[in-house]
Amino acid sequence: MRFPTPRLTTDQRDKASPVWDMSQERAFLETLLNHRTNFFIVFFSAVIAGTLGATEQWQTRLLLSLGALIAMLMYATILRAEQKLSIALRYLSRDRTHPVRITDRAAGPPSARRLLSVWVPFICCGVLLFGVVLAWLDKLPIRQSRTELVGIVFRQSTELAAAQSEIRGLTAQLRDVSERLIRIEAKLGRDRDVKARRPATR
């Protein structure tokens, strides 16, 4: 793509009254791109948080499906802003005296702008799409609701109380058996003593 050659020198540009030139367009596009990227990251975090807090399978499917659709639409607007910003930067870099070219040459490559504005949203959209597939295949674990947790705790408490009652019953039976064995052993001991004394009396 060919751009028109800038006709203003550095002095002319500094003395001219403020107009909507390519420099202001670049500043506007960069601010717009940052706002869209930040909002995308916040939206992605909200979708993930809502999915983790879902207690029903249909809630997980709905959140991930709508979240993935909206995220891809937002990603398209981010790519558009990134494309227009790249065009503006390439145009301004043709002017050897422009601050954009001077700072780019001083900073040197690489620039992390595309990593944050292109690849991070792309990975986030991929994660959401993967979550949609897992949700519709019933492969995602669902967080149990508070009512279900209360029911589980109540059932476990009931079973534990029943087990404790059985243990107490078995303990009482063992105590009775032990007492009977002690009485039988004592009786057998007395019988042995009686048998041992009979020859001596004769």
The answer to whether position 1 is within a domain reads: no
Tokens 């975090």, residue located: 45
**Residue 39 sits in the same domain as residue 108:** yes
Q: Within this chain, do residues 57 and 34 fall inside the same structural domain, yes or no?
A: yes
Q: What distances in angstroms separate CA 163 from CA 159, 166, 169, one per listed residue?
A: 6, 5, 10
Predicted local distance difference test score (pLDDT) of residue 202: 47
Q: Residue 6: name the closest of 63, 91, 86, 72 by CA.
A: 91
Tokens of residue 151, six digits: 């029911």
Helices 22-52, 120-136: inter-axial angle, 10-degree rounding: 30
CA-to-CA distance for 182 and 76, rounded, in angstroms? 88
Domain that holds residue 165: 145-202
- Per-residue pLDDT 10s for the chain (202 aa) are 555 555 556 566 655 656 667 778 888 899 999 999 999 999 999 999 988 888 888 889 999 999 999 999 999 999 999 999 988 888 888 877 777 777 777 776 767 778 888 899 999 999 999 999 998 888 877 766 556 656 677 788 788 888 888 888 888 888 888 888 888 877 777 777 677 776 554 4
In the chain, the number of structural domains is 2
Residues 129, 151 within the same domain: no
Q: Is residue 167 part of a domain?
A: yes
pTM: 0.62
| pLDDT for the residue numbered 160 | 82
Same structural domain for residues 123 and 163? no
**pLDDT score, position 131:** 92
- Both 180 and 125 in one domain: the answer is no
Residue 106 sits in the same domain as residue 166: no
Residues 128, 34 within the same domain: yes
pLDDT at position 148 is: 64
Say if 129 falls within a structural domain: yes
